[in-house]
Every structure is written in structure tokens, then in C-alpha cells.
Amino acid sequence: MPAVNDGGRYASLNSGTSRDGVDAALVRFEASGPVVEAALCRPYPDELAARLARVIEAGRRPAADEIPLLDEQLAIHFAAAAEELLSASGVSAKDVVAIGSHGQTVWHAPSGPQPETIQLGDPARIARLTGIRTVGDFRTADIEAGGQGAPLAPLLHRALFRPASGRRAILNLGGIANVSLLDSDGGVKGYDTGPANCLLDAWIRRQRGERYDDTGAWAAGGRVLEDLLQSMLAEPWFAKSPPKSTGVEHFNLDWLARFLPATPTEARDVQATLAELSAASAADAIRCARAGEVLVCGGGVHNADLMQRLSQRLPGIPVETTARHGLDPDWVEAVLFAWLARERLENRAQDTGPITGATRPVLLGAIHDPLR
């Protein structure tokens, strides 16, 4: 792992497509690799969660008048998560080099005549509220260089998990699944493979009022509807060649409704089929890439049903979590934004071309100093 032995301490702030709240982590970089000293999740209050849901689940670009207030409220919540993290760990703000804040993605449309990605949670306000230099807006420079703006995780995965021989796949099971393909010679590719948890979460929330399918137990008791599965897998996005990225703007309940049969269907069977869709689309990408092993991270590692389906679709390919290689799968993405902040402060341009399709190396992130 290159140049990580400065011992510097960074805070990471991130909220994914599940929108449970803000994941905050305190990360120290040592010669042996990153050390997560403390971590927590600060849930969104109900009103803010509801406002986010209205904006994101509409499946459209937020209106101009929706953005400023939400940007401010999210920044306040992100800053509070950072302060809670430092208080819980007994670390002073002056002992933190910087915060890396990804923010909350509310729109991601990297293709077309006007490519755009929007993450809210104003990093300049976070810097002012915490008194800590904050690096944010990690995706825009890549978009401006002709890239997809995502995924960025393969950059960290290459630094941490490069194999000694052959090809290794790192599969992140968040709301959306993305895969990093790492070669022993340092080569890296990465792209989104489709939905992981986003449709599973949305469907169980609609049908049962639950935030997520705990361990995948509800899906495990259902029956895969093969006709529904095949019709969803025929979605043109899956056949699109990398680089590619996606989000809940595409894979949402409106998308699912296009495929549901007109005749009544057991809701639990739909959940089972959605789990199979997530496993099948990710496994197809891994098989096509001829990876010899798979390391899994992200919240989906706790979905035992999804993990089992994935393993069944990858016979002969070892599937384990990143914990076996020194990093808790729950906090790999948190380490990512601390690492990206560190890279930006060192002015190291990232060659994202093999991952996102960017036409040139780019400095990822904008630096915001607190007003003193």
C-alpha cells in the first residue's frame, strides 16, 4: 500500500443509498494500512429522512429551490456526526488532519449531453461548524474529465487488496453493487453491476413497513419467479459495457413496476426474485472478468440470503469478506473517503480512466478551510 505511514488521523463522513444516516469513522493511516479507531452511524431525524425520500425517490433531478435548504440541513447533520465521533473517541478537532465528506447523493446522471452528479451536505459549512479542514465534492472533477464519477472505491481497493497473483474481485454490496477487478501487476478496473440492496429495501419498506430485510430472512422464505427474473435481467443497462455507473434514479420501484406481472404475485416471492437479481447481476460480472476470488464489503455482507445466492452463482470461486484481509467490511467505504481526502491534500491526481472512463488523471475533491 503506497505512502500510508504518516500516522495522520482523518475523519470520514458518508451516507449511502439506504439513507439510514451518516456513517462517521476516525481513520489513522499507518505503514501496515488504515486503522479504524472509532466509528458510528448518526441516524437521520424523521423529518430530514422524509425530505430526502421525497427528493430521491421521485427519480428526477431535484428542483433548484429544493437544494439549498437540504444542502444546509445535511451539512449540519454531517457536522454533528463528526463532533459526536470525536466526543465518543476522546479526540480533539485539532488532532484531525481533515474530514473527507462524500455527502448524500441525490442525483447521479453521468451520461448524456449534460452529465451531472449531485451530493448534498455542504463541505464548506462542515468545515466552519467543526473547525476542521474538509474535503468534499469528490465526483465532479471526474465527471468534467468525461468519466462516470463513480465508482471511486476501486482506487482504495487497489491500494489495500492487490493480489499477489492472478485477479481478485472486490464486491461492494451497498444500495448499488460495484465491483473492483484487481490484477497482480497493479491493473484495476471497476464499475457498478446493478442493484444490491436498494430494491430489496424499497420493496420490504412498501410491503411490510420495515427498513430492510434483516439477514435476508423474508427473501429466503420466498420463491424466485423465473419469468420476472429473466425479464429484469433483460434490462439493457446490464448488457452495457463498462465504464458504467447507476443509482436509485434508475433502479427504483417505478422501474420494478414495469416488470411485475398483471396477475397478483406474492410479495415475498418478489423479494426473493429481487435478491436473485442482485446476486445474478454481480456474479455475471465477476464470472465474465475471470476473477479467481471475491472479497465482499458493504452492508450486504449481513444479508445471509444474498451472500448464499452469490456463492451459489459462483461455484469454485472463493467468496469471503474483507475482514479476512484486515478491514471490517462495514467500514471499507468510510476508509475510502478518509483516504481520498488524504490523497487530495497531497495533491495526488488519480488515474480513474480504467474505472470511470475519464480522459485524464484528476484531483478528486475540493478543499475547504474553516474560518478562524
**pLDDT digit string, tens, across residues 202-226:** 999 999 999 899 999 999 999 999 9
C-alpha 188/C-alpha 155 separation (Å) is 8
- 240-264 mean pLDDT: 94
Evaluate if residue 285 carries a pLDDT over 50: yes
Radius of gyration of the chain (CA): 20
Whether 1 shows a pLDDT value over 60: the answer reads no
pLDDT of 306: 98
pLDDT of residue 6: 61
Contact present, 1 and 59 (Cβ < 8 Å): no
Give the C-alpha separation, 259 to 206, whole Å: 17
Q: Please enumerate in sequence order all residues whose Cβ is within 8 A of that of 157, keeping only pairs 6 or more positions apart, or say none.
A: 170, 180, 182, 188, 190
Q: Is the pLDDT of residue 367 over 90?
A: yes
Helices (H), 189-314: 198-208, 217-220, 226-233, 236-239, 253-257, 267-288, 304-312
| pLDDT, mean over the chain | 94
Domains and their CATH numbers in the chain? 9-149+332-368 (3.30.420.40), 161-317 (3.30.420.40)
Q: Is the pLDDT of residue 2 over 70?
A: no
Peptide bond into 110 cis (omega under 30): no
Sign of the CA dihedral running 66, 69, 75, 81:
negative
Average pLDDT of span 228-233: 98
Supply the pLDDT for residue 3: 40
Stretch 295-306: mean pLDDT: 97
Q: Is the pLDDT of residue 93 over 80?
A: yes
What single string gives the DSSP state of each residue in 22-59? Answer: EEEEEEEEETTEEEEEEEEEEEPPHHHHHHHHHHHTTT
Distances (CA, A) of 370 to 27, 69, 104, 189, 299: 20, 21, 21, 36, 33
Output the pLDDT for position 79.
98
Is the alpha carbon torsion for 237, 293, 356, 334 positive or negative?
A: positive
What pLDDT score does 372 carry? 56
In terms of Cα–Cα distance, which of 90, 119, 183, 108 is closest to 147? Answer: 108
Q: What is the pLDDT of residue 4?
A: 41
> Cα 284 to chain center, whole Å?
20
Contact (Cβ atoms closer than 8 angstroms) between residue 265 and residue 223: no
| pLDDT digits 0-9 by tens, 253-283 | 999 999 999 888 999 999 999 999 999 999 9
Per-residue model confidence (pLDDT) at position 32:
85
Position 85 confidence tier, pLDDT thresholds 50, 70, 90: very high
pLDDT per position as a tens digit, 165-201: 999 999 999 999 999 999 999 999 999 999 999 999 9
What average pLDDT does the segment 61-80 reach? 95
Q: Does the pLDDT of residue 5 top 50, yes or no?
A: no
Beta bridge partners of 180: 170, 190
- Percentage of the chain beyond pLDDT 90 is 89
Rounded average pLDDT over 339-349: 97
Confidence of residue 20 (pLDDT cuts 50, 70, 90): confident
Give yes or no for residue 18 having a pLDDT over 80: no
Contact 197, 296 (CB under 8 A): no
Question: Distances from the Cα of 217 to the Cαs of 28, 266, 268, in angstroms?
Answer: 36, 15, 10
| Residue-wise pLDDT tens digits, 107-145 | 999 988 899 999 999 999 999 999 999 999 999 999 999
